Amino acid sequence: MATLTERAIIGAMLELLEQRRLDKITVKDIADTCGINRNTFYYHFEDTRAVVKTILRNETERIFSEYTEPDSWQDGFIAAAQFALSNKKIILHLYHSNCRDELEQYLKDIAKEVMVRFVKKATEGHLVSSDDCELVCNFYTCGLCGITMDWIECGMTEDPKTTIQKLGELLEGNILAALTKEPKGISEIIR
């Protein structure tokens, strides 16, 4: 549980990220915004990136606490995209800063967990290797992250829910089909 001071620092960071990119925000800016001194900041966080990591980790935990029934991978990822859209200026300022990799890691963490939960539920009762499950999860994680990073780069103008749902319709049944497909013998491959 975050302390009152940590919540104040996080709030100040979010307020400042509404105004400018992360690489234009200093520890002094944060300390001044929330009325603490720099030593107090450093008692709670190593640097500004650590605050961003905490913000994104908290949001990831919130999404996973709400996304408990993995009936569709789309629902969990839509929740992450909605967070991005609700905080558009913040996300764009992170994307165009030296913290872009943290944003991408946030998306990967969510996409991976959503896919793992979905694949686990979808393959219940099927004989599927863990290596195949991991490969499929990695494939879809990279695809979802790539599409989302492109969406952010283009200014987040389209509704992410529509795009994710359309992708879900296009891929409907493909995840389970890929995992439960019978391996082809060498004679079938040569034909």
- Written as tens digits, the pLDDT of the chain (191 aa) is 679 999 999 999 999 999 999 999 999 999 999 999 999 999 999 999 999 999 999 988 888 787 666 566 777 778 778 888 888 999 999 999 988 999 999 889 888 888 888 888 888 888 888 888 898 889 888 988 888 899 899 998 888 888 887 877 776 677 767 777 655 444 444 44
User: Considering only CA atoms, which of 142, 134, 135, 49 is closest in space to residue 98?
Assistant: 49
CATH class of the domain comprising 4-182: mainly alpha
Structure tokens, 111: 């996409």
User: Considering only CA atoms, which of 114, 91, 113, 112 is closest in space to residue 102?
Assistant: 91
In order of 131, 183, 191, the CA distances from 188 in angstroms are 23, 10, 5
CA distance 146 to 153: 10
CA distance 106 to 161: 18
CA distance 34 to 160: 33
How many Cβ atoms from other residues are within 10 Å of residue 48's Cβ? 23
- Residue 177: predicted pLDDT: 74
3-state secondary structure of 26: coil
- Residue 140: predicted pLDDT: 86
CA distance 66 to 56: 15
Structure tokens, 15: 């307020």
